[in-house]
Structure 1
């Protein structure tokens, strides 16, 4: 089978629902104790978006707990969603959560890519720039290999391309500095 394994989040969701509703006899739920035998029939999801989505869901549950009644939490993020079900054991996140998670993932990716550019523009020392490029590429490759299902060759190619862009930016940013331009005029 080439189907991806079921995520721990999905297995926990099913276990919570079964525990809350008690609609299936306990021996019938033994299959959930073998997570490596379970498959995800919906296909693979973007793991970066799924990570952010899970974090936002947990934050929504935290904010909507009886102790912290937050009035500004959007209806689409409130646990229960009585417009879809009256069962308190079922939580529908809705498409807004997925869209917001995609936006947050894009913001994080843009930050990972552009923060080193800002640092490189501010750092004048060649060793500092080399260290910045090294750390930025390592962080970029770590994020890429953690959040995506990219093959090794794709990760290496993306890292080499990103490092090349940063090196070219470093040499191009020297031309924008007034002190460098003054030295060229001498």
Structure 2
């Protein structure tokens, strides 16, 4: 089934994107700093040697503070590079000045580690628009992150970054959709499964 056959998914995306566009930039920045603090103190992130993350755009929950904090903590960070077929290659985070403009208003690393590099991460932080109470993530509809998450080994901590009201929403799902193990917001981290040791 494609998104064209799931009008409920399209309608939910439109509603969530409209709400994000109305969010004041000051609020987005404050929420980004709070979300970063929660993630940087999460046991899964503290233990990680390599973290897969991304560079936020627009009204997405911001990642600048998070990326700076991961670097300061000595983590190796890999970021996605959108390929022409919609899949994700990965490159190394070397600071904002080492990013290049890309399609769809994205900023990406210039090096290429390959599509399987996401499997080397101990923690995978992904964007999304919503997540259900059981961890079903709603993305923007391209399937890029569902493909990437399919390469992540079982047991790897996967977490979607969202605004508080985007957590616990009923999300229409298709067979290719991938669940995440947690959601991070300015209010804290919601885990969908057993607590970390």
What TM-score, normalized to structure 1?
0.23
Tell me which protein shows more strand as a share of its residues. 2
Structure with more relative contact order (C-alpha pairs < 8 Å, separation 6 or more): 2
- Say which one has the larger Rg: 1
